[in-house]
Amino acid sequence: MEQRALGQFRVGAIGVGCMNLSHAYGQPPARADAARLLLHALDLGVNHFDTAALYGFGANEELVGEVLGAHRSRFTLVSKCGMQGVPGPDGAKRRVIDGRPETIRQTCEDALRRLRTDVIDLYYLHRWDKAVPIEDSVGAMAELKRAGKIRAIGLSEVSAATLRRAHSVHPIAAVQSEYSLWSRHPELGVLEACRELGAALVAFSPVGRGFLAGAIPDARAAAALAPGDLRRAMPRFQGEHLAANLRWLAAYEALAKEAGCTPAQLALAWLLQKAPHIVPIPGTTKVAHLEENLAAAEVTLPADLVGRVEALVNADTVSGGRYAPATQAEIDTETYPSGL
C-alpha cells in the first residue's frame, strides 16, 4: 500500500480505527473475533492502529495491547487523552472531557499500562476542554514527549485557529477529524492549515458511519440500530433528515458501480485523491469489510466522476447535523450552516 506521512512516521494510506471493536455501535464483537480482525489487519500490512482511553472506557486500549503488544515494532501506535470515562455517583462510568495537565498525565500512564508499551507513537488530545487553555493541555503533552512517554502530539476535532494556537506551543503532527463526502467541514480551514503546518489530516468515519457503505439502506434499518448505537442520536439518521439523505443514496451507489468499486471504496478513494496528507482510518468489526476498505487504496477515480460525486454529496445535499446540539457544542470545528 502507498505510504503517507503521519508526523515523523510513514503509515499506510489507510489505517484502522479500533473504536468499533469496543464502543459506540451497540454490542461489540466477541473478544476472539476482535483479536482475529486486528491480527488479520496486521498480516495485510496495516501499520497504523488508532485507539483511545474513551473507547470502552479503557477496554479498547487493553484489547490493542493484549493482541498487538507482541508485534509492537510493526506498527505506529496511536491513542488519545482528554476524554475518558469516570465513575458517576452510581458507580457507572460516564464520559467526561478533561484537558487539565494532571489528568492528561494520569491518562497517559493508564494508557501505557493498558497498551503494554513504554511509549505511544502519536497521542491526541481527543477533545479540547474549553475550560482549559489549549496551550496548557498541549504543554502537558509536550512534557510527556520530553519524558519519552509519547513521540508526537495530535489534536482531534479542532478548528484551524485552535490548531495554530497549539502549534505555537509544540509542533502538531496530526489533526483527527470526521471527514467524508458527507462531512466536509475540514475543507473550511483545518485541511489547508494542516498542509501549511506539515500535519496529517486523519479522517475518522470516512464512510459516513456506514451510510456511504450502504449500511443504512432505508428507515427500517435505522430504526433497527441497537440501543447503544450512537447513530440513534445523530440527526442524519433520523426522520426527515434520513429521508432526504436516502433520496440520493441510490445515485451514489450507481456512481460506485460506474467506478468499478463498492460504495465504501468510492468514499475512501475520494478522500485519498483529495490530498496527499489525508489518512483515513475506517473502522469495522468484520474481516470482509476490512479487506474491502484496504482495497480502496488501489482505486483510481476519473476526474469527471469525482466532480459528479461531489455534486451529488455535499453541504447542500446532505441533511442534518453530525451530532445533536449538546454534543456539537463540545466540538471546536468549523461548520457549514447545515452542520456538515
Active-site annotation, residues: 55
**Residue 242 phi, psi dihedral angles, 5° rounding:** -60, -45
Residue of 69, 56, 53, 52 whose CA lies nearest to 28: 56
Q: Where on the phi/psi map is residue 319: left (φ > 0), alpha (ψ -120 to 50), or beta? A: beta
Cell numbers 468484520 correspond to 286
Angle at 61 between CA 36 and CA 114, to 5 degrees: 115
Please classify residue 130 by burial: count the beta carbons closer than 10 Å to its beta carbon, then call 0-12 exposed, 13-18 middle and 19+ buried. Answer: middle
| Separation in Å, CA 183 to CA 99, 178, 214, 330 | 26, 7, 16, 17
Strand partners of residue 202: 176, 279
Residue 4: C-alpha distances to residues 9, 43, 71, 192, 286 (Å): 8, 19, 21, 17, 25
- Phi/psi of residue 124, each to 5°? -95, 150
Cell matching residue 318: 446532505
DSSP state of 180: B
Pairing of strands 48-50, 93-97: unpaired
